[in-house]
Structure 1
């Protein structure tokens, strides 16, 4: 058993295409065999990120507002609110405010599961942040 303090500056960020959308895993395969947790930040309002889920995920909004579009519907989360996204769901994230951010928890590990799914091509949209 262990307890770890995880600091943002030690995490590797990935950028979604050329948008100002960044994600970083704090917990993943190196520290947990069953789940992933990390953060996402969206610097510019109105940017949209398409994604399809091969895993379950919970989002906890920490700053700003983030809208999730799915199946012709939308939900907008604000600080202190949570959004659950079920495996198999296709969504579009849209930043409703500059500087929006969230914490995510996925089960099982999102990167490994996504890379081994019908949605693996979506992984190519992420790249490491240059200069980090």
Structure 2
């Protein structure tokens, strides 16, 4: 694990991430809550499963990005199936089943990070609302970032669904741009390689690595090659709150 100056930018290397058992009966069933110790807002990390499922009630909002394989979420009698590149957004209170008939690896973000303490006594009432949304990767529409670059596009697909976290996918090729973040942000590198420059340091990441960056960090997002990354941020309404 590499910490940048002032701990505003942290890089979690894929090969150093430690996994724990989910506690279910399966050949592969492990989770890494890699971001939770670093954050006061969002939790997040990676989950891997093979031919298994388990029931759960969410006491948090959750975003799932399917990195490889396939999975499903069971909710209100429906089996909602997803493949690589698809995204789930699920609202607090949802009674669900996480499952895969094959094998899956997914990156996830949750809000709030302290749900075990802050939500432990909450009892949810049935509202009839569908609390699970599936966004198909093949249907995602991208907008230009507005910078110089052969590929420079972003799809903040979660922002319109959530009152807490924003998120989506960004793609870049041989380009960079400077930014001061006014939110906490998680990035999972799904393809290629990239870097974040902060306090004069170029912090490089490849597929499977995770960045966690805190509100206020002055950074440069960049890639010398090509990259696709998933991102989540809190709060989703940072433009209204911070301007």
Q: TM-score, normalised by structure 1?
A: 0.76
Which residue does the alignment assign to 1:104? 231
Which residue does the alignment assign to 2:88? none
What is the CA-CA distance between 1:76 and the residue it aligns to? 1.0
* Structure 1 alignment gaps of length 5 or more: 119-132
* Structure 2 alignment gaps of length 5 or more: 1-93, 95-130
Higher strand share: 2
Which residue does the alignment assign to 1:62? 190
Residues 4-44 of structure 1: CA deviation (Å, up to 9, x unaligned): 1102344442212243311111211x3111011100001x2
Instruction: State the distance in 1 between where 2:239 and 2:196 align.
Output: 19
For the residue of structure 2 that corresponds to 1:64, the secondary structure is strand
Which residue does the alignment assign to 1:114? 239
Which of structures 1 and 2 has the larger relative contact order (alpha carbons within 8 angstroms, sep 6+)?
A: 1
Match status 1:38 vs 2:165 = no
Which residue does the alignment assign to 2:157? 26
What is the CA-CA distance between 1:104 and the residue it aligns to? 0.1
Which residue does the alignment assign to 1:3? 132
User: What's the C-alpha RMSD, in Å, of the aligned pairs?
Assistant: 1.7
What is the CA-CA distance between 1:115 and the residue it aligns to? 5.2
Larger Rg: 2
Which residue does the alignment assign to 1:50? 178
Q: TM-score, normalised by structure 2?
A: 0.43
For the residue of structure 1 that corresponds to 2:242, the secondary structure is coil
